[in-house]
Amino acid sequence: MGYAVLHMEKTSGTDAAMSAHIERTIKPKNADENRTYLNRELIRFPDGVESRTHAIQHRLDTAGLTRKIGNNQVKAIRVLLTGTHEDMERITNEGKLDEWCSDNLRYLADTFGRENIVSAVLHMDEQTPHIHATLVPIVKGERKRKKKEEQVKRRYRKKPTDAARLCADEIMTRAKLKSYQDTYAQTMSIYGLQRGIDGSEARHISTRQYYRDLMQQTEQLQTDIEQLQDRKKTAQEELRRAKKEVQTEKLKGAATAAATNIAESVGSLFGSNKVKTLERENAALQNRISELENETQEREKRQAKQIQEMKNAYEQQNSKLSEFVDFVKRYFPYVEKLIPTIKFLRETLNFGDAIIRKLCTFKDVSIKGELYSREFNRHFKTDSAVCSLKQDAEGRFELNIDGVSHVSWFRRKKDEFMEVLGMPTKRQNQGIKL
């Protein structure tokens, strides 16, 4: 009997990275693209809503919230619904997957409110069928207050206790999380799935160490199984040979004396328990092989669980990174446009980090030394060149030196160099007819 899996996780921001994974706008490495067409959206979006991200915002806009949503407030909770790999394959092969999906949606609606479940997607292109559901934590009832709040005299009008509130913490209390595991296991029991161990004291080792130990143990188990199978094969052959000697037709036509001897030998064979010993050894070997195979299966299950935990951790980290990038693009839109200029300053002009940081704050920086021109493939000396970053009409940033673009500055320096050498420049040749 396998296990029912219900995993809940708070999100932050728009949860754009997870939306990309769920909606397959990006292609995960562990997904089979040939099976992606089997994925299904189990909940229809409202009119005008086209994505999971929009569905979250639509629920927030239409929930009748009276409080302003904070920047750090959790807007959605991810819910992963699945079961042990072998059991999910069995449910699929028995044609019960649609019923399983319907029962999961019914459980979510009964537990958290139908209107709060804004998205549910069935993934069939990964190793184990599973559902990604999205819960917007809208609750009703009076907010649970801290003791210091209760001690302060209220000087403002009380708000209605039945007003809708956004509160993920109220949904994900320790007691409620335990209750979800119990009730979900009860719902899934009709599919042969049970609850995991309640109150397990198991602790995780490092992932790298786990897989190193797992590989060593797996190799040892495989070796033990092969050795036991060889011993089993040898014992079976010896058993067959012994029985064949007892039952051979040659014994029937032998002389009385020989028959007596053979009978005694046969009696000795059975009396000495040689055949029975071989049978017991064979049975013991078979039992040991079964134990090792069961142990291997259990280790594979634990391995699959560890891989899923690593995947969840990666998705969470990727989500945080995407949110950070979105934050930077939203509040510092010029950063992306500065990147090519920064690359030019580092790789071509060999500016240090301190100078580049100061330039990126749009401050003037005095440079003394040599500046390299890619156009003329040479360095030009300067005693006190004032550098700054300016934005052109198209929004691009370029380096200015002494109030002009770096291109014009280098060309001016080249002309000055040529004049020192006594060589005419284009500027000097403007009035000469050839």
For residue 292, the surrounding DSSP H or E stretch is helix 274-331
Torsion (CA) 309, 310, 314, 316 in degrees, nearest 10: 20
Q: What pLDDT shows up at residue 237? A: 78
For residue 251, give its domain range.
207-329
Question: Tokens in use for 305?
Answer: 């669980």
**340 Cβ contact list (under 8 Å, min separation 6):** 396
**Nearest-5° angle of CA 421, CA 423, CA 426?**
135
Q: Are residues 12 and 128 in the same domain?
A: yes
Q: Are residues 265 and 315 in the same domain?
A: yes
Length of the chain as a residue count = 434
**Nearest-5° angle of CA 314, CA 319, CA 320?**
100
CA distances from residue 117 to 58, 114, 328 in whole angstroms, order as listed: 12, 6, 30
pTM of the predicted protein model: 0.46
Q: Which of 425, 360, 366 is nearest to 397 (CA)?
A: 360
Q: Are residues 45 and 188 in the same domain?
A: yes
Q: What pLDDT shows up at residue 27? A: 84
Q: Which stretches of the chain score pLDDT less than 70?
A: 143-161, 197-225, 242-243, 245-275, 425-434
DSSP state of 154: P
Question: Domain boundary at 301, 329, 357, which?
Answer: 329
Q: Which of 301, 319, 305 is nearest to 22 (CA)?
A: 319
Q: Are residues 111 and 214 in the same domain?
A: no
Q: Are residues 41 and 170 in the same domain?
A: yes
DSSP state of 143: P
The CATH code of the domain that includes 83 is 3.30.930.30
Q: Residue 50 domain-assigned?
A: yes
Express each pLDDT in 149-179 by its tens digit: 555 555 555 555 678 899 999 999 999 999 9
Q: Are 76 and 134 in contact (CB under 8 A)?
A: yes
Sheet containing strand 117-123, strands side by side: 40-41, 117-123, 130-135, 77-83, 2-10, 193-194
Q: Are 80 and 6 in contact (CB under 8 A)?
A: yes
SS3 398: strand
Beta strands in 162-264, from DSSP E residues, in sequence order = 165-166, 193-194
Q: Are residues 43 and 105 in the same domain?
A: yes
Q: How many domains does the chain have?
A: 3
Q: What pLDDT shows up at residue 208? A: 42
Question: Tokens in use for 422?
Answer: 């006594």
Q: Which of 199, 179, 282 is nearest to 235 (CA)?
A: 282
Q: Are residues 233 and 317 in the same domain?
A: yes
